[in-house]
A and B are shown apart, each in its own frame.
Chain A
Amino acid sequence: MSSAAGEPLFAVDGLRVEFWTSRGNIYAVNGVSYAVNPGDTLAIVGESGSGKSVSALAALGLLPRAGRVVAGSAKYQGRDLVRLSDRAMRSLRGKDIAMIFQDPMTSLNPVLTIGRQIREALQTHLDLSKSEALSRTADLLDRVGIPSPKARLKDYPHQFSGGMRQRAMIAMALACEPKVVIADEPTTALDVTIQAQILELLRELVTERGTALILITHDLGVVAGMCERVNVMYGGIFVETASAKQLFARPRHPYTLGLLQSVPRLDAARGGRLHPIPGAPRNMLSPPSACPFQPRCRFEVDLSRQEVPPLVEVERGHAVACFNPVPEDEWARDRAEVVAG
């Protein structure tokens, strides 16, 4: 469905976001670029405060008051969302690009019924009569796996469990069949057993409609099961971009390696230790002038302190922003050691 030949459906280019606070500017996103086409699944992975959610909110014009996009663009079918008027942006939001939020407990309005909230999503963009909208709402609830959807329309959010609320949120986001769905940590607030169901549902829905999915998460397990491509974010920039296969086989950025090493493994030998990444995330009160990960990095070189490393391709479709990338076989060796004990 891309408008011009070769132009991606949704492309973020050189996006920079700052927050103006009383403590000074916070440089939350410092130039990130990515693109998705229909049917793509892209993961943006990073820890809290790495700027992953902010970059998505900025693209949709949903930044909090203090936030500003200071550079870059977010193009949907060739139209730059950053420069779009509020009215034009509003007509795109929910209809062409939808978002699913982290906490279904707080993302649904407690005083309105589930049906009323999903219907609002439909009627905001589509010219439907109330009865048409109601029957479509029931269909949507049915589609996301909520039993006896007609009766459930009249329920309030507190009568739904966490998993069901997230299903309702997904129904709301997919109501107008958007072309791009941004899911911001959609399973973080849920039980592990429910997480799997929600992810499965999301994957089904996006594949059957050819929707492009951007999944924002800190959970590498979720990424492995869901996404074709992964962008790892740290300190407001992408430090590594690769296909999921490449990333999990040969992580090249020290931060990615650290993330993988801090995930507990079921096949690890008894008494084996996890390797957390030492130090704390970078404070974002200044723009990066060196590699943002340098203070926590055991692979740092002199150049790491002097310049921001650019993303450089190390193999086809796999780029790393590092002056001294991790050796290709480091992760494989590490895993073998962990299993052997």
Chain B
Amino acid sequence: MSIAQLEAAEIAFEQPTGLWRDAMHRFVRNPGAMVGVFFISAIVFCAIFAPWLAQHAPDQPDYSALHNGFPTGPSAKHWFGVDTNAYDEFARIVYGARISLLVGVVTVAIGLSAGLVLGSIAGFVGGTIDAVIMRCMDIMLAIPGFLFAIGLVALLGPGLRNVMLAVGIVQVPIFARLLRGSILAQRESDYVLAARAVGVRSPSILVAHVVPNAISPVIVQATLSMATAIIDVAGLGFLGLALANPATAEWGSMLTRANDYLVSTPFLAIIPGLAILISVLGFNLIGDGLREALDPKLRGRV
């Protein structure tokens, strides 16, 4: 038996696992992350099964439930009561989950894809292109995110699609900057030199070698950004910018309508507030769990 064979036999004791599988392993063992997964699963469940969960349509007023024209509290017929427009609060919460998840996914998809392209080009190509891209990103970052989004919505006009676009654009520089930094750290690494020495083309080195090594902080940020996006859109909804049609169930605009009745029927504000809290907390917990699971210092350990 040669030494190489002995070595191989020794190393075979280690379970043949990939780095991603290792990370998954660590993630599953993190209690905080699992709470986050539970919260988000609950929200996803509500979003998917909304028509079955709610006995009422979210945009069909039930005027008989109003008490002297005022919203009423929980009852057997309306579990979370009805709001000022006589809409069923429970139905609006579960249907609202659809909007919030859609918003989270779409805005992050916009921010992530544009940020990924800009950040990787800036980081890998360097020089003037890097300077131009990053100065543009700096300008965008100089404007407070929420104000920037309001400005964009004012420019594009209200409505869910424009709101998602605006919140997505606000997130582009965050992703671009993060990925650029991560790529700069990887660009000079030995395996990039080794790949170049074998004759691999630069675009393939970027896509197949550098980005997979640089992506983990971006994955974490994407999860955290879902939370920010939900808050931003709820905020825009609260300001009345998110929806063209007021009958659409959206958590932020539900808060607006509860505003005048905070003293008489506080649950109208508490319930959508809790829904926002749970979804944001859920995404943040998952993000933190991923950050720990993908930490390169823990790689290869179980």
Contact = CB atoms under 8 A, between A and B. Distances in A.
Given A155-B16, A161-B7, A90 B199 contact: yes
Contacts of B201: 90, 124
Interface in A119-156: 120-121, 124-125, 145-148, 152, 154-156
Interface stretch (A57-65, A244-252, A271-279, A308-316): A57-65
A187 to B, nearest CB: 14
A330 to B, nearest CB: 39
Give the size range of B's interface with the partner.
Answer: 20 to 34
A62 B200 CA distance: 12
A93 B19 contact: no
B298 interface: no
Contacts of B4: 145-147, 163-164, 167, 197
B197 interface: yes
Main secondary structure on B side of the interface with A? helix
A95 interface: yes
B77 interface: no
Given A93-B199, A164-B8, A107 B3 contact: no
B126 A197 contact: no
A120 B198 contact: yes
A163 B212 contact: no
A169 interface: yes
Contact of B16 (A91, A159, A161): A159
Interface in B44-79: none
A101 interface: yes
Interface stretch (A6-14, A27-35, A109-117, A207-215): A109-117
A101 B188 contact: no
Interface string B181-209: 00000001111011111111100100011
A158 interface: yes
Given A159-B14, A163-B7, A197-B3, A101 B212 contact: no
Given A145-B4, A148-B8, A161-B7, A64 B188 contact: yes
Contact of B191 (A108, A154, A173): A108
Interface in B1-28: 2-5, 7-8, 10-11, 14, 16, 18-19
A159 B300 CA distance: 9
B29 interface: no
Given A93-B198, A145-B2, A110 B299 contact: yes
Q: Which of B200, B212, B299, B300 has the most CB of A within 10 A?
A: B200
Interface in A16-58: none
B5 A103 contact: no
A152 B11 CA distance: 11
A242 interface: no
A121 B197 CA distance: 9
B213 A60 contact: no
Given A64-B188, A111-B212, A158-B300, A147 B197 contact: no
Which A-B residue pairs are the 5 nearest by beta carbons?
A94-B199, A94-B198, A106-B190, A93-B199, A109-B191
Interface of A: 60, 62, 64-65, 90-95, 98-99, 101, 103, 106-113, 117, 120-121, 124-125, 145-148, 152, 154-156, 158-161, 163-164, 167, 169, 172-173, 175, 193-194, 197
16 contacts: A93-B198, A103-B190, A106-B190, A109-B213, A110-B191, A110-B213, A111-B19, A112-B208, A120-B200, A124-B201, A147-B4, A152-B8, A158-B300, A167-B4, A172-B198, A197-B3
